[in-house]
Amino acid sequence: MESSLLGAKQLLLCCLFLLWVLAAVAEAKTVHEQWEISYQFTHSDCVRKLAVTINGGTPGPTIRAVQGDTVVVTVKNLLMTENVAIHWHGIRQLGTPWADGTEGVTQCPILPGDTFEYRFVVDRPGTYMYHAHYGMQRSAVPIVWVGEPQSLLINGRGRYNCSAMAPDAAACNATHPECAAQVFAVVPGRTYRFRIASVTSLSALNFEIEGHEMTVVETDGHYVKPFVVKNLNIYSGETYSVLIKADQDPNRNYWLASNVVSRKPGTPTGTAVLSYYGGRSSPRAPPPTAPPAGPAWNDSAYRIGQSLATVAHPEHAHPPPPRADRTILLLNSQNKIDGRIKWAINNVSFTLPHTPYLVALKHGLLGDFDQRPPPETYNHTGYDVYGVQANPNATTSDGLYRLAFGSVVDVVLQNANMLAPNNSETHPWHLHGHDFWTLGYGVGRFDPAVHPATYNLRDPVMKNTVAVHPFGWTALRFRADNPGVWAFHCHIEAHFFMGMGVAFEEGIERVGDLPEEIRRCVSTKGGGH
Amino acid sequence: MESSLLGAKQLLLCCLFLLWVLAAVAEAKTVHEQWEISYQFTHSDCVRKLAVTINGGTPGPTIRAVQGDTVVVTVKNLLMTENVAIHWHGIRQLGTPWADGTEGVTQCPILPGDTFEYRFVVDRPGTYMYHAHYGMQRSAVPIVWVGEPQSLLINGRGRYNCSAMAPDAAACNATHPECAAQVFAVVPGRTYRFRIASVTSLSALNFEIEGHEMTVVETDGHYVKPFVVKNLNIYSGETYSVLIKADQDPNRNYWLASNVVSRKPGTPTGTAVLSYYGGRSSPRAPPPTAPPAGPAWNDSAYRIGQSLATVAHPEHAHPPPPRADRTILLLNSQNKIDGRIKWAINNVSFTLPHTPYLVALKHGLLGDFDQRPPPETYNHTGYDVYGVQANPNATTSDGLYRLAFGSVVDVVLQNANMLAPNNSETHPWHLHGHDFWTLGYGVGRFDPAVHPATYNLRDPVMKNTVAVHPFGWTALRFRADNPGVWAFHCHIEAHFFMGMGVAFEEGIERVGDLPEEIRRCVSTKGGGH
């Protein structure tokens, strides 16, 4: 699945791959990529607009590699005044924490005219994505509420409802080839693996291939115990592999459809087309039916069901450690600071330091961020997750959690009501540098005295991104065994930007010498405050 | 006159002042400004769009100071992914060449989250502007041909012709207070000084106050021998002061009008309103007449006439040195490199080095730019300025001219035909760090054996920005007595970006220690190539 530095659109990028890593079948090699980042006019959803592109296109190139290969991506920033940073989402960066591409955490941004080399080993097969990790660059919008409708793209193609918004007529060209629906042509009787990723900036999606059941077999680089679905809920930052059998009437086409769920949708269905070779239908002909509308947008139970059904494949399971050395409870709440809406974790809204943590910690620039760690928990016995917080005020901090190297850490993410009554959103949390075991999901208030006993310690799947459902909680466990500093945050880009994240340090003393290129924004005198 | 980091519009900003410097009447003081740069939605021309703003507004704040004052502007970059640099146009930065704000020449850009302090002494009264000097940030557009119509703004207010372009109807609000015409209210019988600056990205303008003659008294910080005009030609980067007498019928309003000249205009007249106190007309009432249409757009002779009329005030003249130590002839031509249109000087298209010259030269990073100087002249005896170049190919270089400290330098700017036949534009050239004497203007090919004898050595006015008229030449002289590195370029932003500029070094060994903040983009290992 390929991500990208894309326009202000909700995206579902299907069946292109950033890193389609296969189990090693030959000796390790080096995969070289030369990228130039520039603005180009595109018509991804039929509307002419500027997009940040890689080598002139969007989505960016697919990278194919096998386990053990070294990937080297030389990124040249040809933007005129804008910096960039690219994150390799799902790649653990074992031994190369400086290549994680997370501005403020692992590197300074790449300045216009500069070239930056990302070099890392892919240590595991799977489906991974890459995307910008700097400000709101992933969605290339400023921090304003862009609202709906937007366009849902599949493989970078979608269709804006021109008549609904009456934009500049000259800029909207419904027949532009760049926004023609992607067609997937299949041979009758064969089975296909679709690699699916979501890089939406906001929305949770449900993906369906009309008339074709999907067997879910992989998520975030881990095989799962196969299960069959009519449609797949997928959250920003997640990847899945599904198998479909081309066993339907070959003489008509079928919709691929992505629909917004978890928020009342104002955005039309994103579509592509499945067509059979040898059938009587033209590959580009629209299917004779209306695109699938997906499940009810507010059916949380349906989505939790999929979360619970996603467990490790018996032959590919990594059993979790039986207990944690440390448990961190993280309350997700919407707050206000100086009258502005923020997100906060345990009532602390996260801000990134100017000096990347990795540089500050490795070089002893301890004045460059708040040395007090954020709170380890919240008032979990008294908090009403269904009510509006009486005092929504929060503070900001760029402090981080320091973890004992090699220790086992449990994190429980507790969702809650937002500032508006009867409102709670799904938050897909993404952990850099690690996979975690998904031990449990629940609805309502998490009770540390009760719920840990319900954890799935038998066959939890490992993931790097997991949903925290409305009014619910999600428990996960990981081993802090990857030297570096790692972001952990809601993958809704605006939410992270508004404070919904934390950072973990572990084994900083084991990190090798940092490349000079990651610390170009750091004063040689120290001090970034 | 205030400039700004403004939207993609042609601008005429009238009667606000960046630096309204008066002759000193008291002891020198320090003028402090705290600026925050951020994106905000604005309606400067009635269309809602994002603009880069200073303290939430555009144009930015007026700075008032008197001769000898120190101006300190603390700029905090609150953009998310975009850098900034701000140039103090017309301020010579005597002793502070690192405060000139020219990205690539005198400083690294200011990164998001960073704060940069510009500190300089204003050594002379006058009317000056400030604006972004980084990529195409002054006009906040990528390097694409944006075309016309655009909007001409006066004091940040204009009126987009919504119906002509049919943009998103919801985004266009012709009654938005932010785009209401600026009203200048005057008392009958009084005389007013208007300080006028142009920060257009492209267009040459003609400015007129309906029914009121203007007496031109100042340009670029120098008093001129007063002359009366019906309307004023003004090129991007120039400033003027004019006096008008409020001596017309007070019972009606009058238009202030700016019209595009020198290119066939596709942009409507920019307007504001002059209203008399005590008259019977409401200050906001549109005048009963049509706005002045300005002179014929292609009347070059009319504009050259104004150039020739602009000479030093006899009581404020600075006589030029009688002869030059060195003469540099600069052919302005449109060229192609790899099939792309560029501008070139003596067939070399200028590029900025990644390491700012000032840093590279002061720190001996001589590998960071081309050490070969650009050509000193061109084939001036054989060049047909009225024809299309037979071979339009050019090369690029980031080399610069190194001038003997204290020497007197003549520069002759020779205009020529562009790539299309019978086409030559006006180029307003701006010199940083100096004023120059405007020795002469001519039409056709400059002849070094003939034309220097025609120079005005008696009362040439000093300026920092001067027009090179279509198919014409302009000769200027300056003393290389300001230690530093200084850009000299066409002030049409896209032209400079496309290569229409040079740089001068003088007295680098006399430059004091550089502030650390200007070299944040420079590798500590050196080498920016």
Helix or strand (DSSP H, E) at A496: helix A493-497
CA–CA distance, A107 with A109 (Å, rounded to integer): 6
Q: Is residue A320 within 8 Å of residue A456, measured between CB atoms?
A: no
CA angle A279, A284, A287 (to 5 degrees): 70
Q: How confident is the model at residue A149, as a pLDDT? A: 78
- Which chain B residues have a beta carbon less than 8 Å from that of A114? 354, 521
- Selecting from A84, A111, A528 the residue whose C-beta is nearest the C-beta of B521 gives A111
Please say if the pLDDT value at position B34 is more than 60: yes
CA–CA distance, B246 with B230 (Å, rounded to integer): 14
Calculate the alpha carbon distances from A398 to A415, B37, B82 in Å.
22, 22, 21
- Selecting from A81, A114, A170 the residue whose C-beta is nearest the C-beta of B135 gives A81
Which single residue is written with the structure tokens 């006028």? Answer: B196
Q: How confident is the model at residue B111, as a pLDDT? A: 95
Calculate the alpha carbon distances from B113 to A260, A500, B75, B88 in Å.
34, 19, 10, 22
Mean pLDDT of B262-284: 93
Mean pLDDT of B208-236: 98
Please give the residue of chain A at the shortest CA–CA distance from B167.
A168
Regarding predicted confidence, which is higher, B164 or A224? A224
CA–CA distance, A95 with A35 (Å, rounded to integer): 23
CA angle B431, B437, B443 (to 5 degrees): 90
- CATH no., domain A162-303: 2.60.40.420
Cβ contact, residue pair B81, A82, below 8 Å:
yes
Q: How confident is the model at residue A221, as a pLDDT? A: 97
How many other CB atoms are there within 10 angstroms of residue A24's CB atom?
Answer: 14
- Which chain A residues have a beta carbon less than 8 Å from that of B528? 113
A 394-453 → B contacts, CB under 8 A: none
Please say if the pLDDT value at position A13 is more than 70: no
Lowest mean pLDDT, pick from B145-159, B223-237, B396-410:
B145-159
Q: How confident is the model at residue B11, as a pLDDT? A: 35
Cβ contact, residue pair B168, A168, below 8 Å:
yes
Regarding predicted confidence, which is higher, B464 or A47? B464
Please say if the pLDDT value at position B7 is more than 80: no
- Selecting from B81, B143, B169 the residue whose C-beta is nearest the C-beta of A137 gives B81
Strands (E), B346-463: 348-350, 395-397, 401-403, 408-414, 427-431, 436-443, 462-463
Mean pLDDT of B47-68: 92
Please say if the pLDDT value at position A174 is more than 50: yes
Q: How confident is the model at residue A529, as a pLDDT? A: 37
Cβ contact, residue pair A109, B81, below 8 Å:
yes
Which single residue is written with the structure tokens 């069901």? Answer: A305
Cβ contact, residue pair B111, A83, below 8 Å:
yes
Q: In DSSP terms, which residues pair with A71 in a beta bridge?
A: A31, A120
Cβ contact, residue pair A523, B523, below 8 Å:
no
Mean pLDDT of A470-484: 98
CATH fold of B318-519 reads Immunoglobulin-like (2.60.40)
Q: Helix, strand, or coil here: A382?
A: coil
Please say if the pLDDT value at position B420 is more than 60: yes
Q: Is residue A103 within 8 Å of residue A109, measured between CB atoms?
A: yes
Helix or strand (DSSP H, E) at B89: strand B86-89
State pLDDT tens for residues A186-232: 999 999 999 999 999 999 999 999 999 999 999 999 999 999 999 99
Calculate the alpha carbon distances from B19 to A2, B22, B432 in Å.
50, 9, 16
Share of chain B above pLDDT 70, in %: 91
CB of B112 within 8 Å of any CB in chain A?
yes
Q: Is residue A522 within 8 Å of residue A528, measured between CB atoms?
A: yes
CA distance B351 to chain A (A): 11
Task: Give residue B167's pLDDT band: very low, low, confident or very high (50, 70, 90).
Answer: very low
Which single residue is written with the structure tokens 């609904």? Answer: A164
User: What token pair was written down for B82?
Assistant: 């975009």
CA atoms within 13 A on the CB side of A314: 1
Regarding predicted confidence, which is higher, A5 or A407? A407
- Which chain A residues have a beta carbon less than 8 Å from that of B144? 41
CB of B137 within 8 Å of any CB in chain A?
yes
CA–CA distance, A119 with A96 (Å, rounded to integer): 8
State pLDDT tens for residues A292-331: 999 999 999 999 999 999 999 999 999 999 999 999 999 9
CA distance B30 to chain A (A): 25
Regarding predicted confidence, which is higher, A163 or B226? B226
Cβ contact, residue pair B523, A520, below 8 Å:
yes
Please say if the pLDDT value at position A28 is more than 90: no
Mean pLDDT of A375-384: 95
CA–CA distance, A133 with A86 (Å, rounded to integer): 6
CA–CA distance, B78 with A84 (Å, rounded to integer): 16
Calculate the alpha carbon distances from A467 to A51, A92, A301, A458, B10 in Å.
29, 20, 13, 20, 48
Please say if the pLDDT value at position A20 is more than 90: no
Task: Give residue A5's pLDDT band: very low, low, confident or very high (50, 70, 90).
Answer: very low
Please say if the pLDDT value at position B10 is more than 80: no
The most confident of the ranges A141-155, A435-449, B163-177 is A435-449
Q: What homologous superfamily is domain B162-309 in, according to CATH?
A: Cupredoxins -  blue copper proteins (2.60.40.420)
B 68-87 → A contacts, CB under 8 A: 80-84
User: What token pair was written down for A253?
Assistant: 């086409």
Topology match between the domains A162-303 and A318-519: yes
State pLDDT tens for residues B383-394: 999 999 999 999
Q: How many CB pairs under 8 A join A and B?
A: 89
Q: Is the peptide bond before A59 cis (omega within 30 degrees of 0)?
A: yes
- CATH no., domain B10-152: 2.60.40.420
Q: How confident is the model at residue B9, as a pLDDT? A: 35
- Selecting from B112, B142, B354 the residue whose C-beta is nearest the C-beta of A80 gives B142
CA–CA distance, A395 with A113 (Å, rounded to integer): 37
State pLDDT tens for residues A390-434: 999 999 999 999 999 999 999 999 999 999 999 999 999 999 999
Please name which of B59, B70, B195 lies closest in space to residue B126, comparing C-alpha atoms: B195
CA distance B232 to chain A (A): 34
CA–CA distance, B379 with B78 (Å, rounded to integer): 48
Task: Give residue B12's pLDDT band: very low, low, confident or very high (50, 70, 90).
Answer: very low
- CATH no., domain A10-154: 2.60.40.420
Task: Give residue B446's pLDDT band: very low, low, confident or very high (50, 70, 90).
Answer: very high
- Selecting from A108, A135, A168 the residue whose C-beta is nearest the C-beta of B80 gives A135
Please say if the pLDDT value at position A63 is more than 80: yes
- Which chain A residues have a beta carbon less than 8 Å from that of B111? 83, 108-109, 111, 521
CA–CA distance, B59 with B3 (Å, rounded to integer): 6
User: What token pair was written down for A326?
Assistant: 């440390």
CA distance A134 to chain B (A): 7
User: What token pair was written down for A192?
Assistant: 């296909």
User: What token pair was written down for A437?
Assistant: 């075991």
CB of A167 within 8 Å of any CB in chain B?
yes
Give the 3-state secondary structure of A328-354: EEEEEEEEEECCEEEEEECCEEECCCC
Regarding predicted confidence, which is higher, B161 or A174? A174
Cβ contact, residue pair B166, A165, below 8 Å:
no
Mean pLDDT of B243-264: 97
Task: Give residue B171's pLDDT band: very low, low, confident or very high (50, 70, 90).
Answer: confident
State pLDDT tens for residues A95-135: 999 999 999 999 999 999 999 999 999 989 999 999 999 99
State pLDDT tens for residues B357-380: 999 999 999 999 999 999 999 999
Q: How confident is the model at residue B504, as a pLDDT? A: 98
Pairing type for strands B427-431 and B484-490 reads antiparallel
Q: Is residue B77 within 8 Å of residue B110, measured between CB atoms?
A: yes
The most confident of the ranges A19-28, A518-527, B381-390 is B381-390
How many other CB atoms are there within 10 angstroms of residue A80's CB atom?
Answer: 19
Q: How confident is the model at residue B2, as a pLDDT? A: 31
Sheet holding A484-490, edge to edge: A401-403, A501-506, A484-490, A427-431, A465-468
Pairing type for strands A214-219 and A395-397 reads unpaired
Q: How confident is the model at residue A26, as a pLDDT? A: 63
Pairing type for strands B63-66 and B19-22 reads parallel
Q: Positive or negative CA dihedral for B47, B49, B53, B57? A: positive
Please say if the pLDDT value at position A23 is more than 80: no
- Selecting from B80, B142, B516 the residue whose C-beta is nearest the C-beta of A142 gives B80
Q: How confident is the model at residue B173, as a pLDDT? A: 84
- Selecting from A41, A134, A516 the residue whose C-beta is nearest the C-beta of B524 gives A516
Q: How confident is the model at residue A460, as a pLDDT? A: 98
CB of A27 within 8 Å of any CB in chain B?
no
Which one of B41, B50, B78, B80 would you mutate to disrupt binding with A, by most A Cβ within 10 Å of its Cβ?
Answer: B80
State pLDDT tens for residues A454-468: 999 999 999 999 999
CA–CA distance, B243 with B228 (Å, rounded to integer): 9
Q: Is residue B194 within 8 Å of residue B12, measured between CB atoms?
A: no
- Selecting from B135, B137, B520 the residue whose C-beta is nearest the C-beta of A520 gives B520
CA distance B104 to chain A (A): 11
- The domain spans of chain B are 10-152, 162-309, 318-519
Q: How confident is the model at residue B158, as a pLDDT? A: 87
Please give the residue of chain B at the shortest CA–CA distance from A138.
B81
Cβ contact, residue pair B41, A144, below 8 Å:
yes
Cβ contact, residue pair B524, A524, below 8 Å:
yes
Mean pLDDT of A61-70: 95
User: What token pair was written down for A114?
Assistant: 């500069």
- Which chain A residues have a beta carbon less than 8 Å from that of B527? none
CA atoms within 13 A on the CB side of B237: 28
How many other CB atoms are there within 10 angstroms of residue A402's CB atom?
Answer: 16
State pLDDT tens for residues A334-369: 999 999 999 999 999 999 999 999 999 999 999 999
- Which chain A residues have a beta carbon less than 8 Å from that of B517? 523
CA–CA distance, B307 with B412 (Å, rounded to integer): 16
CA–CA distance, A354 with B4 (Å, rounded to integer): 26
Task: Give residue A388's pLDDT band: very low, low, confident or very high (50, 70, 90).
Answer: very high
Q: How confident is the model at residue A525, as a pLDDT? A: 54
Calculate the alpha carbon distances from B493 to A51, B137, B508 in Å.
22, 9, 27
State the burial class of residue A245 (Cβ atoms within 10 Å of its Cβ: 0-12, 13-18, 19+): middle
Please say if the pLDDT value at position A6 is more than 60: no
Cβ contact, residue pair B82, A84, below 8 Å:
no
Task: Give residue B47's pLDDT band: very low, low, confident or very high (50, 70, 90).
Answer: confident
CA distance A167 to chain B (A): 4
- Selecting from B80, B135, B169 the residue whose C-beta is nearest the C-beta of A112 gives B135
Q: How confident is the model at residue B528, as a pLDDT? A: 38
Please say if the pLDDT value at position A478 is more than 50: yes
CA–CA distance, A6 with B84 (Å, rounded to integer): 23
Mean pLDDT of all residues belonging to chain B? 91
